Chains A and B, each alone.
Chain A
Amino acid sequence: MASVTADASAAEAGSANEQPVFYVTDEHEHAEGGSTQLGFWLYLMSDCLVFAVLFATYGVLGGSFAAGPSPKDLFDLPLVALNTTMLLLSSITYGFAVLEMQKNRVSPMLLWLAITGLFGAAFLGIELFEFTHMILEGATPQRSAFLSSFFTLVGTHGLHVTFGIIWMITLIVQVRMFGLTDANKRRLLCLSMFWHFLDVVWIGVFTFVYLMGVLR
């Protein structure tokens, strides 16, 4: 309840005819978690700036091969296409999970969430395969400025996906224990934003890093 207090000066004036000035001393009520979505969006925007800086670094250093391997020698576009497919599929399956959540159907929701996690894990597996392949060929982050910035940018994205999967597993356990409560729904929608945001960043990665790199 918001308590309303008469303005002190108006009270001192004491004139009954004048309209007293009111103001609210308490913060008005917010439904619990009412601002979570906006807050999480703001976090995503700050994360966006992190990626922007990493993209800028890659843009500046991406051509400094130090007589080492260039993107043309290293990048395997069919593998990247497969990777992109995994992430795209995980986006739509997360969408299906959200649709089941809106219908309050727990088991199908958990199933779609698990499938999303598996696609995410497949994406990570392919990326790690690519990384180990490159490192075994001698294209380590220490080799050139291009490779340092490449591993930092793509690795940061991969790390985000890793934490997304951990979050997904946590939410599967949470929903199994407590059901689709309001708090769990809110968390699922936050993870949805996070997951789709990572997909948006990946669009930048495969366009700017892989395709432009092979084109260069």
Chain B
Amino acid sequence: MSTDSHTSHAIAPKTGHDDGHGHGDGHPVSTFKGYMTGFVLSVILTAIPFWLVMSGALDSKTATAVAILAIGAVQIVVHMIYFLHMTPSSEGGWTLMALIFTVVMVVITLTGSLWVMYHLNTNMMPMDPSQLP
């Protein structure tokens, strides 16, 4: 923080936040084209997984599961960009920082829980009465 930016700020306090304080304008610009792109992509990305599961187009269940999870992840990114107007520069990058932190926490929570509880289930549960000591 230089004293310069503060002086200019004090002289013209109404100029807003364009003086390098690190917050963006706060008003994301939305366009009709952006919303329609997001909507069309989103419809396609919703229809494909429903079709995959309901028609059983892929023979392997694992392949179908991987496909719908991947498509779901892509659709989340589409929504983030076109509907939530996420850009690396919005709010001076702080929204992206918060998002990255949250994604890390979500991944740890999900994979951690599933991993630990899966092993707890397989390793600690007696399979049938004959295996009991």
Give the interface of A toward B (CB within 8 A). Answer: 1-2, 4, 22, 24, 28-29, 31, 33-38, 41-42, 45, 48-49, 52-53, 55-57, 59-60, 77-78, 80-81, 84-85, 88, 91-92, 95-96, 98-99, 102, 189, 193, 196-197, 199-200, 203-204, 206-208, 211-212, 214-215
Q: Looking at chain B's contact residues, is the secondary structure mostly helix, strand, loop, or mixed?
A: helix
In the assembled complex, the Cα of A196 lies from the Cα of B98 at a distance in Å of 17
Contact B102 A49 (CB under 8 A): yes
Contact A45 B91 (CB under 8 A): no
Give the interface of B toward A (CB within 8 A). Answer: 3, 6-7, 9-10, 13, 16-17, 21, 23, 26-32, 35-36, 38-39, 42-43, 46, 49-50, 53-54, 61, 64-65, 68-69, 71-72, 75-76, 79-80, 83-84, 91, 94-95, 98-99, 101-102, 105-106, 109-110, 112-114, 117
Q: Per a CB cutoff under 8 Å, which of B71, B106, B117 touches A48?
A: B106
Contact B6 A2 (CB under 8 A): yes
Contact A212 B65 (CB under 8 A): yes
Residues of A within 8 A of B3 (CB): 4, 22
Contact B17 A200 (CB under 8 A): no
